[in-house]
Structure 1
Amino acid sequence: MNVLIVDDEKMMRSGMEKEVKKVLPDANIFLADSGREALSLFKDNSISLVFLDVEMPGMSGLEVAKELKDMKRDVNIVMTTAYPNYAVDAYRLHIGGYLMKPVDAEDIREELDHLSHPIEESHDPGKLTLQCFGEFKAEFGGEPVRFSRTKAREILAYLTAKNGASASKNELCDVLWEDEERDSKKSYIRVLVLELKKSLKELGVEDVLVHNRNEYSIRTELVDCDYYEFLKGNPAAIRAYNGEFMSQYSWGEEYIWDLENKL
């Protein structure tokens, strides 16, 4: 499940994140410090639950809530505030819940039991299989994943090689187009990411891809990957290594030296 926490105060964001993790330990949590950032994250990620501060500079929490509802009518929003006088306005927007700060895990647990739109149990459609040794391949259910653009496949390959670490738009531009002008390609990265998301969503595995603050990564726990098994010391994965790593991409050669040293 993807959860979004929105609060302009860093201490409040961190505290809320800590309490949410106690209740939803497997949740993928996104943090936003403004309404605009919250809307961007919500648009780019499949988010089921939003904890939203009422009073923020710029867009207020209530304004953000209205726009979130316009984008996804059945989104669950829990407002957080130190001021009880906002409750009436929140309920007019059919907000899922309302919490008074400071919030603890028990408060969150109670609100989750009374959401307007019950959160669906996560369905495990199976794992995406990513092969890094030899040529990069992505499969689901034994069938190749279809990509509408080869560069979208390469983004997935590069993020796989990053092993959960994030890559910025600039980094992706440098990898995908090497010596070409970076600024002219930045807008194209967004197009490619949308195409990649579409391919993953068709298979029900869109949560593999994470987009946060103009950076991209994959959730390694949601995929089966020979490279990751190699790094864990899995004997079968070590035997499967053939001296090649994503051989269709020139940047893949940079990983071979490290792999050879681990043998």
Structure 2
Amino acid sequence: MKVVVVDDEELLLDDIIEQLKEMPEIVSTVGFTDPEKALEYILHNEVHVAFLDINMFGMDGMTLAAHVQREKPSVSIIFLTGYSEYAVEAFKLRASGYIMKPVSKEDILTELANLRPVGMRRDLGRVRVQTFGSFWVFANGVPLRFSRSRSKELFAYLVDRRGAAVSITELASMLWEDREYDKSLRNQIHTFISDMIATLRAAGAAGVVVKQRNSVAVNVDAIECDYYRYLDGDPQAVKSFNGEYMTNYSWAEYTTAQLVRSQEED
């Protein structure tokens, strides 16, 4: 089991790490006093359990946990705190455990023995969409390969529309603006829609797209998206926007302009 411990009090951090090192089931333990550095490590390394102090300078443990759950939902979160009033909020985040300080070896063993299985936690971030810069879709952390580039572009447009139902005629006018809308184009668009849905279904993400007879939409609750988090005011998403949005597609320039304008106003 690979573990990360985050606590801005270095003495407490070292004490917990020493206790973990005595446990044979722990393969590796990495400690951080800086939550930002901890998040970066967790996102780019294999981590099974994260012990997070709730009260920290800068990013607090609740915020850090929310980021981890979005990006790496397989990581079990165990909160550390000296304040019992955080318990309700911690379990709203579906944490696997909650330890009151001072932390004892027995407390750690109890929480590790009762980790909530991954399948019982919300599957946040199963499909992750990157819109800042080039457009990418990830399923379980792996880039999703669409067999047709138009199928990928169609999905990008649905993401841009943020759950609004998009008709076949709108898709034709936006993505095939240089072609006359006729039966041939309509059938072709239906083929791309079917291909897009088949690609998502093969990745275990069939519920990401909602298809009706003459329209299609993305299920915004089924994906994790930097654009959506930006609109929600998420600090990390706001920081990650550098003026580029879906650079693969010319039709995305309108949204890009809106994002740049909002950034300048802030």
TM-score between both structures, scaled by the size of structure 1: 0.52
**For residue 256 of structure 1, what is the aligned residue in structure 2?**
256
Q: In the TM superposition, what whole-angstrom CA distance separates every residue of 1:135-168 from its partner, at most 9, and x where no partner exists?
A: 1000112211011100000010000000111110
Structure 1 counterpart of 2:186, which letter?
A: K
Q: In structure 1, how many angstroms separate the alpha carbons of the residues matched to 2:201 and 2:164?
A: 22
Q: In structure 1, how many angstroms separate the alpha carbons of the residues matched to 2:225 and 2:123?
A: 17
Structure 1 counterpart of 2:213, which letter?
A: R
Q: In structure 2, how many angstroms separate the alpha carbons of the residues matched to 1:220 and 1:127?
A: 12
Q: CA distance change for structure 1 residues 235 and 125 in 2, over 3 Å: closer, same or farther?
A: closer
Q: How many residues align?
A: 143
Residue 212 of structure 1 deviates from its aligned partner by: 1.7
Q: In structure 2, how many angstroms separate the alpha carbons of the residues matched to 1:128 and 1:155?
A: 16
Structure 1 residue 236 corresponds to structure 2 residue 236:
yes
**For residue 130 of structure 1, what is the aligned residue in structure 2?**
129
CA contact (8 A) 2:124 2:223 kept: no
**For residue 176 of structure 1, what is the aligned residue in structure 2?**
175
Structure 1 counterpart of 2:236, which letter?
A: A
Q: Secondary structure at the match of 2:138?
A: strand
Q: In the TM superposition, what whole-angstrom CA distance separates every residue of 1:197-220 from its partner, at most 9, and x where no partner exists?
A: 111111111111001231110110
Q: In structure 1, how many angstroms separate the alpha carbons of the residues matched to 2:260 and 2:125?
A: 31
Structure 1 counterpart of 2:250, which letter?
A: S
5+ residue gaps, structure 2, are 1-119
Within 5 A, what are the aligned runs for 1:118-157?
124=123, 127-157=126-156
Q: Percent identity?
A: 37
Q: In structure 2, how many angstroms separate the alpha carbons of the residues matched to 1:203 and 1:125?
A: 15
**For residue 216 of structure 1, what is the aligned residue in structure 2?**
216
Q: In structure 1, how many angstroms separate the alpha carbons of the residues matched to 2:197 and 2:162?
A: 18
Structure 1 counterpart of 2:232, which letter?
A: K
Structure 2 counterpart of 1:188, which letter?
A: Q
TM-score between both structures, scaled by the size of structure 2: 0.51
**For residue 186 of structure 2, what is the aligned residue in structure 1?**
186
Larger radius of gyration: 2
Structure 2 counterpart of 1:163, which letter?
A: R
5+ residue gaps, structure 1, are 1-120
Q: Secondary structure at the match of 2:147?
A: coil
Q: In structure 1, how many angstroms separate the alpha carbons of the residues matched to 2:232 and 2:125?
A: 21
Q: Which runs of 4+ in 1 moved over 2 A?
A: 123-126
CA contact (8 A) 1:168 1:216 kept: yes
